[in-house]
Amino acid sequence: MFGFGKAAAHKEIAPAELNAMLQADEVLLVDVREPDEFAAGHIPGAINLPLSGFSPEAVPHPGDKTVVLQCAGGKRSGMALEKCGKAQSAIDTHLAGGIGAWKAAGLPVVQG
């Protein structure tokens, strides 16, 4: 009975850790916000797979990179991680605080 119905723990990484991983080309960053949000500003190198149609199977094969999910503040990326867990995907990491935390850390954002 212990743990029944309880979500598996998700790994959270801080903006500085994600930035280091991006600089070392060790991460496939997936932004699960909607296309208009993504176009208004996103983390350099991120790909956009909106939560509204998110499927773990749609995430490109990362090779030896770690897949990290990200949204505005962490809620939607957590929901996407739940979908990954149900699909028995190996994806289990997201950016703590989302792009809001990334911006607060003074890290770069691109538009388009």
Q: Report the catalytic residues.
A: 71
96-112 per-residue burial string, b: 16 or more CB within 10 A, e: under 16: bbbbebbeeeebeeeee
How many CA within 13 A on the CB side of residue 15? Answer: 19
Q: Are 25 and 65 in contact (CB under 8 A)?
A: yes
For the record, the structure tokens of 34 come out as 């909607």
